[in-house]
Structure 1
């Protein structure tokens, strides 16, 4: 296990979940991404600001990730799941377009303020799309 993944596990272990169950949602996304073939996870903490789980497909050449799942340090903590805009669709139009919002490129972000099965499933479908896009790079 890499040091970054050890740091991620320690972060999760020390996170006390709240009634919004955002820790539960974050762990679900982490496990979902970890189960995808060819996906490499990275963890980038910015203490007191965000804690980022980043995923890249081993075939990706042009971009360093296909999704960034941020834990936003707030009371309570909430999640922001961001993709490069051209890598996914948003058929229900629930994401927020953020110009230059992901490492300087246009992004589509989905905020999750509490555990919501429908929204999480919708975001997981976007994870599938983005991973497929990344695998084709």
Structure 2
């Protein structure tokens, strides 16, 4: 067998190994997400959100959005949104319920921006475990 053929065989074998490992990792993640699905469902139900099957819509309780937008400070904070989208659209945003799953690099910024945009209810879900031995920096 020639040197070139051995190189191609080595590359094909390495590709197959990478494919098998990535498939095993994806299967492990999927099985873990199925276990967590029940946890998320019970968490949503405990927070007053009715959830049905996979295709059903999530129902929420609307907290007096007109009272919130009548507040002078809140109205001042959301003045640019109100000018851009209009009062009716901002009322829809204020009456909405958003779930952010994962508070890593993207999720933490997304949650912050959702909160600043005036979302009425925000549920943050993160499965990381805090270790007391790690150094925690708390920004107030």
Output the TM-score relative to the length of structure 1.
0.29
Higher helix share: 2
Output the TM-score relative to the length of structure 2.
0.29
